[in-house]
Structure 1
Amino acid sequence: MSSTMKAAQYNTIPIPNPGDNDLLIKNACASLCHSDLMLFWGHTAEKPPMEKVTIGHENTGTVTAVGKNVVGFKIGDPVGCLGCSYACYECEGCRIHNLHCVQRTGKLHGFTTHGHFAEYSLADYRNSMVLPVGMDLPTTAPLFCAGVTAYHSIKKCALQEGDWIAIIGCGGLGHLAIQYAKAMNLRVIAIDISTSQLESAASLGADLTFNSATTPDYQKEILTQTNGGAHAAVVLSASNAAYASAPTILRINGILMIVGIPKEPLPINALDILLGKYRIMGASSGTPQQMREPIEFRHEYGIKPHLTTFNGIEHIHEIVELMESGQAAGRFGILF
């Protein structure tokens, strides 16, 4: 019998003191990401923490105190930060993702260090940025994981204007990816099993929409209407079925972009890759060096996250249940 257990607790805890490299942020909004829930589901390589850890890795707020090493930030600055703090941000591993830091000091907010579903939270200043003037704090919060990831999942495909890109999974990341793709003058195929998600996708400019659960021949329809298939398919769903079907809608040497994290290993046919039937790439929220571009792009092109907000941390269970249902569009956030 295990000596530990899970429990729901109601706590007020001390406001944290910033370390040497920390910003103390008075949070305006923290938004919930699918990966915040993966720890509870046993659906991640991260092990559940033995100590109490506040969840959440998407936030915006205002700087209220700074550590002694902090440069480039001042009290009162509106800020957001990425999900991994306390890496060195300079080594070969950090140039790919801060979890690969050779010093092994990187910590994930909400997993191995406290996250942002709290009135105040800490973040490494090297992992943070001051927001462009005029950006709304609450609706910007989802951009610091979902937005950055969605942007790079589109841009890394390096497609030409007018090319076809399939967005598979049109929820929290997908509705942002559609907007980014349209702003880059790509033609978008939206694929989902939710009617409400597809209606949202169409309203955001998706050129074609398909319900993969109710349209048996949707792959043939895509190949016909695109004259050969999509140039890239971005899989934002965590479904193994989504990955299994994605190559069937690609044109020869198209890109399978991996973003969603399924529980089971992916079924990859080595011969397909060897013969160039399609290519495999991946995208994530990445590094601080990749953070500013998508945030400023959003500001310039008016990308609008679908964010449903609730006032107060007592609504956290409600938004967890809404995300688990998979039926509601966009993101859910807590306002402080």
Structure 2
Amino acid sequence: MTPGRPVPPPLARPLPPAAAALGSDRLAAAYGATSGHSGLVPLTVARRAPKADDVEIAIEFCGLCHSDVHATRGEWGTQHYPLVPGHEIVGRVSAVGSAVDDFAPGDLVGVGCMVDSCRECRSCLDGQEQYCENGLTGTYGAKDQRNGGAITQGGYSTSVVVDRRYVLRVPENLDPAAVAPLLCAGVTTFSPLRHFGVKEGDTVGVVGLGGLGHMAVKLAKAMGARVVVFTTSESKVPAALELGADEVVLSRDAEAMEAADRSIDAIIDTVAAPHDLNPFFRTLRRDGALYQLGLPSEAMPPVNPGALIRRRISYTGSLIGGIAETQEMLDFCAAHNVVADIELVRADQLNEAYDRMVAGDVKYRFVLDTSTLQAAAEEADA
């Protein structure tokens, strides 16, 4: 775990080899799946030459998200293979298109969960591209309508080319490896906290203490809130307190849950397994809200409408954030020195990291060091 590695000064090291290695055909070393059962294997992907509005990025780090596991293993329906996952990308600009004037080679940048949207619907025009009514273009596994319908390939790669409108500026004062998970887990928790208007003096509940939960704790604390973590695991109590939680409630303890009655303003629920929400509704004050971020694969127990009606409680969901909000989140994190707690992994450790994610054996996010991709590929070919 590296919550605060030393941060190099801007451009203290040369651009990654990927920037120089790209030939005219824009081939990039990568790791991805060739089927739902192949595991992650070395691949070579073609990247388009930058168009007028494009930014070419030499990737340094890419976070591993649990959704990468579901996608590559075909657990979310039919996928286009080969598939290179990764939507938590941080790297340096290596080239820009002729119409790009807001990014330059050497800039530290990021790419999150989307690389395009329709740009015309009400959500896009409102800066809420994540809710694009015509369907956003995911960073991997999606048809890129502006690129001939080619399937997008993600950040487990040495390079990527993205339209400038979907590229984010990464603050130089933060560890770039620990920034990577902010582009998914960070903004996914930041967005509902901002939507509720969390401020100093509010009390925020966080259900679950994984990749999303640990970011919710950090961000809510940085906003000045008192943070209460709800967990079923007594072993997570010290970890929650270490992250900055003011209180930890064991949700299986009926007396502890009763004591928390009407004490919370907003709850961020990050649990992706079916669980009963009604006990958490009872902890909310009047006009409180529970934001559901975890997406269980099976049906949840029914919600008692009376719990909502008696206190005018909102039960709602939230999905990542738009580009402007993601940039706001990065700037907020820079101002408050907030990053993810991570464990760096090499390319040849990716399959092990996937198994560990499924087993819950990560504290709290894995991040791929893409400088290891080429060496891993050469070793696999030997």
1:335 aligns with 2:344: no
1:136 aligns with 2:175: yes
Offset at residue 172 of structure 1 (A): 0.7
Q: Distance in 1 between matches of 2:340 and 2:276?
A: 23
Offset at residue 199 of structure 1 (A): 1.8
Asked whether the 8 Å contact 1:234–1:257 carries over to 2, the reply is: yes
Q: Give SS of 2:141's match.
A: coil
Cα distance change of structure 1 residues 26 and 185 upon mapping to structure 2, 3 Å threshold? same
Q: Give SS of 2:41's match.
A: coil
**Alpha carbon RMSD of aligned pairs, Å?**
2.5
Structure 1 residues 230-250: Cα deviation after superposition (integer angstroms, max 9, x where no partner): 111110111221545421322
Give runs of aligned pairs for residues 21-100 of structure 1, distance below 5 A: 21-39=53-71, 44=76, 47-94=77-124, 95=126, 97-98=128-129, 100=131
Q: Give SS of 2:122's match.
A: coil
Q: What's the counterpart of residue 247 of structure 1?
A: 281
Q: What's the counterpart of residue 217 of structure 1?
A: 255
Write the letter of the residue equivalent to 2:298.
E
Cα distance change of structure 1 residues 331 and 196 upon mapping to structure 2, 3 Å threshold? farther
Q: What's the counterpart of residue 38 of structure 2?
A: 7
Q: Distance in 2 between matches of 1:129 and 1:307?
A: 21
Offset at residue 139 of structure 1 (A): 1.1
Q: TM-score, normalised by structure 1?
A: 0.87
Q: Give SS of 1:56's match.
A: coil
Percent identical: 26
Structure 1 residues 95-127: Cα deviation after superposition (integer angstroms, max 9, x where no partner): 3643543554x3212332211011222333211
Offset at residue 157 of structure 1 (A): 1.8
1:283 aligns with 2:318: yes
Q: Distance in 1 between matches of 2:134 and 2:193?
A: 31
Structure 1 residues 116-142: Cα deviation after superposition (integer angstroms, max 9, x where no partner): 011222333211122223332111111
Offset at residue 314 of structure 1 (A): 1.5
Which residues of structure 1 form unaligned runs of 5+?
none
Out of 267, 279, 293, the residue aligned to residue 328 of structure 2 is: 293
Q: What's the counterpart of residue 351 of structure 2?
A: 317
Out of 15, 22, 47, the residue aligned to residue 16 of structure 1 is: 47
Q: Which stretch of the first structure deviates more once superposed, 283-292 or 141-150?
A: 283-292
Asked whether the 8 Å contact 1:82–1:285 carries over to 2, the reply is: no
Out of 285, 309, 326, the residue aligned to residue 360 of structure 2 is: 326
Deviating above 6 A after TM superposition, structure 1's stretches of 4 or more consecutive aligned residues are: none
Offset at residue 280 of structure 1 (A): 2.0
Asked whether the 8 Å contact 1:196–1:327 carries over to 2, the reply is: no
Cα distance change of structure 1 residues 285 and 243 upon mapping to structure 2, 3 Å threshold? same
Q: Give SS of 1:173's match.
A: helix
Write the letter of the residue equivalent to 2:324.
Q
Q: What's the counterpart of residue 264 of structure 2?
A: 230
Structure 1 residues 149-195: Cα deviation after superposition (integer angstroms, max 9, x where no partner): 22122222224422221100111111111111112221111112344
Offset at residue 64 of structure 1 (A): 1.4
Offset at residue 59 of structure 1 (A): 1.4
Q: Distance in 1 between matches of 2:232 and 2:354?
A: 20
Cα distance change of structure 1 residues 332 and 247 upon mapping to structure 2, 3 Å threshold? same
Out of 207, 229, 242, the residue aligned to residue 203 of structure 1 is: 242
Cα distance change of structure 1 residues 121 and 69 upon mapping to structure 2, 3 Å threshold? same
Which residues of structure 2 form unaligned runs of 5+?
1-34, 143-151, 371-382
Write the letter of the residue equivalent to 2:318.
A
Offset at residue 259 of structure 1 (A): 1.2
Q: Give SS of 1:11's match.
A: strand
Asked whether the 8 Å contact 1:175–1:200 carries over to 2, the reply is: no
Write the letter of the residue equivalent to 1:259.
L
Write the letter of the residue equivalent to 1:109.
T
Q: Distance in 2 between matches of 1:135 and 1:212?
A: 34
Asked whether the 8 Å contact 1:18–1:67 carries over to 2, the reply is: no
Write the letter of the residue equivalent to 2:255.
D
Cα distance change of structure 1 residues 280 and 41 upon mapping to structure 2, 3 Å threshold? farther
Out of 154, 158, 162, the residue aligned to residue 119 of structure 1 is: 158
Offset at residue 36 of structure 1 (A): 2.0
Q: TM-score, normalised by structure 2?
A: 0.77
1:303 aligns with 2:335: no
Q: Distance in 1 between matches of 2:256 and 2:73?
A: 31
Q: Give SS of 2:324's match.
A: helix
Asked whether the 8 Å contact 1:171–1:197 carries over to 2, the reply is: no
Q: Distance in 1 between matches of 2:289 and 2:190?
A: 16
Asked whether the 8 Å contact 1:240–1:264 carries over to 2, the reply is: yes
Q: Give SS of 1:217's match.
A: helix
Cα distance change of structure 1 residues 253 and 138 upon mapping to structure 2, 3 Å threshold? same
Q: What's the counterpart of residue 101 of structure 1?
A: 132
Number of aligned residue pairs: give it: 324
Q: Give SS of 2:220's match.
A: helix
Q: Which stretch of the first structure deviates more once superposed, 143-152 or 11-20?
A: 11-20
Write the letter of the residue equivalent to 1:92.
R
